[in-house]
Structure 1
Amino acid sequence: MPSTRTRHTRTTPPPAARRTHRALTLAALLLLAANLRAAITGVPPVLDTLQTAFHLTGTQVSVLTTLPVLCLGAFAPAAPALARRTSTETVLAAACTLTLAGILTRTFPTPAALFTGTLLAGAGIALGNVLMPAVVKRHFPDRVGTMTGLTMTLMAATGALAAGLAVPLTTYAGWREALTLWAVPATAAGAVWTLLATRRTRQRPETTGTAGTATARPSVLRSPLAWAVAALLGIVSLCFYVLVAWTPDIMRDQGYPAAEAGAMTSLMLTVGIPLGLAVPVAATRVTDQRPLVAAVIALKAAGLSGILLAPQHAWVWTGVLGIAIGAAFPLAMTLLSLRSPDPATAARLSAMAQTGGYLLAGCGPAAIGILHTFTGSWHTPLLLLITLTVPELAVGLVAARPGFVGAR
């Protein structure tokens, strides 16, 4: 008797539908990137206002500034597992919703709401951070450098914009309005990713991709290359957050006025914005990224050494550091895609690297601050940061060597 079971065949969408889906995915990716820094960087400039409004202690303020970075590491491992059980689109829609919920929650006038909202926003941003390289790898495999560059540039630009607008908006409208502003891009990102998730559920699940795979894959934890990429991202993140946190204090202790020290920090962050686009593109146009890694780390060592040995030229050295840290993070994020043979591996490698990287980075500013307090000067902390460029170069040369995680 012939079987009545219907065989399901996967049909290829027409070209117009593929182009529409690709354009929608691009819009969703860029909106996601626009939400991965602003909800964090908009808070530190108004900490004094928040401390007064919520009657926070010094310890609570320290926790509030460290909590988002720790969230980026703590929640990162959940992203690939959730994507395998549902889909990447569903997880990213949830991530944007969590970010939106966090932004709105922390506007309630209680310390509990402030910390809970920060935790929720940090969790959403962590999920988005991890899965963004996987989205690039799956949907834009022929444009990894360009797409990574666009997302890095948007992250840096919106982060700088949030920091720059925080004080003026707080002055003219209030701290709630200053923080709530970033609910707008979070709402837009959540809507587009929800649309993509709905479209995905109407299709047959793919046998490979970020959401799952039918083939068992080796653990990235057993790959020396994966550990090198993770270590590189960890040291890069550590140095970035330490310099953002302590550069104003370092410059003030060198005799510069507070306003000028703040302007130097702003220069350091602004210089790196265009590099977020240029460096990933350059990295994908060569098969061996080791010379690029070596050049970036050499610039970082030169900038740190200059501040230590010739602080009278601090404007020059902060500019050099801006180039170095502005190039280092996009380069490390690009390596997550370049060292991954497929989107699923990109998601797992991203989770591994960002878990260790952000947990390390979250502890960095506090550790450097304690070292400064113990020694009474910035010489030892700066020497430690200079010394860290040696292991950074060692793991960077391994991470930048041609090859894939899991390949023999």
Structure 2
Amino acid sequence: MSLRVGFGDIVKAISLAKQVVTTYRGAPNQVKELADEISGLLGILEGAYDILQRRDRDLAEYERNTLFSILQGYTTTLNKLGKMYNENHTLATDASHGIGSHARKIGKRLVFEPDAIKDCRQEIIHSNAMLSSFMGLLNTPVVLETHRKVDTLVEHKSAQEDQQLLAWLTQLDFGKQHTDRLRRRQPGTGTWLIASEQFQAWLDQPQTTLLCAGMPGAGKSFIASITIDYLQQVYAHDQETCIAFLLCDFNSQQEQCPEDLLANLLKQLIQNRPILTDLQELFLQYKSKPPGCRPMMDELLGCLATEISSYERVFVAIDALDEYKTENWTKLLEAIFGLQHASKLNVFVTLRPIQENFSVFDESGTTVHVLEIRAHQDDIDKFLDRKITDNLHFLKRQPQEEREKDPN
């Protein structure tokens, strides 16, 4: 029996108790005592209903079974009383008499069955005591602490299963690489990018692409990390926006095939959210396959489409895309453009300004903003200022260090 069924049984018992109380109102004293017990029953049932409604967790199975047994006892007794009423009502068929007459005839009939009345009353007293005891135990510190521990174990098991799923998806992790780049960044550099017309247009328009092209050594990777860092800061408190990124590496092509990169995007999308059913089912499906079996691209794209649609906006930054073989990065980009058509997905890409690299973007069917990446004078000035400052500090320290080494 589910908790909802338990609530329904309580409501039925309350309704039945109200009917019996109304039916036996005005009966002789012996029956009035029974009616008083039923009124007490009604109060206990309504109190139990209120307590269960305010609880912040479902009942455990053994608790549901106990509650169900108590409610069955109530229902059996109340139905028995209802049957008594119906039998007496059948005997009193004279239409010339009103409802009061029926009540008097029922009362007279019940007076002659004291054992039946006594039995029903004892059953109700017993059920009232059982329900009161059950509700009291339900709220004792020991029981509450036990349930807290059980809930903690369930949450821990769920977290472990989630970690297994994430590890199964991919071992790729670009976080450390991104952090290392930010540490080497000169403070204040790259602000021209954020202020550029192309960047702001891309930021404001969902389903658009920002293509940043630059020669080797122009600082494309730093620009990518600056963009990622900026987006993470802007949307730090926005749970409906996700920032994901891929940092491609020529020397890691074996570990970074298109399927692995898509799996990594999926991992970034889900790691701070409840995992949706489609992906859980895919995980269970592959657990039963031989070790080493990996999800196919169409399976990953299906899960990605579902996850992306659960956000208001998603930004995906891809650095050095053309470090890979052409067939690999074009396959990846075409898959991402397919996702972009169906969702509010913004794509940021850095690559070299080679004409054949641009054909995939020309055929993407989406709005593409193009920005040239080159050495910017403001960045050069900041870099030189920092170097000069560092050298001055070094020169100031050097005489002092020499004196400490040679006090004579």
TM-score normalised to structure 1 length: 0.21
Bigger-Rg structure (1/2) = 2
Of structures 1 and 2, the one with the larger relative CO (CA 8 A, separation 6+) is 1
Structure whose residues are more often strand by fraction: 2
TM-score normalised to structure 2 length: 0.21
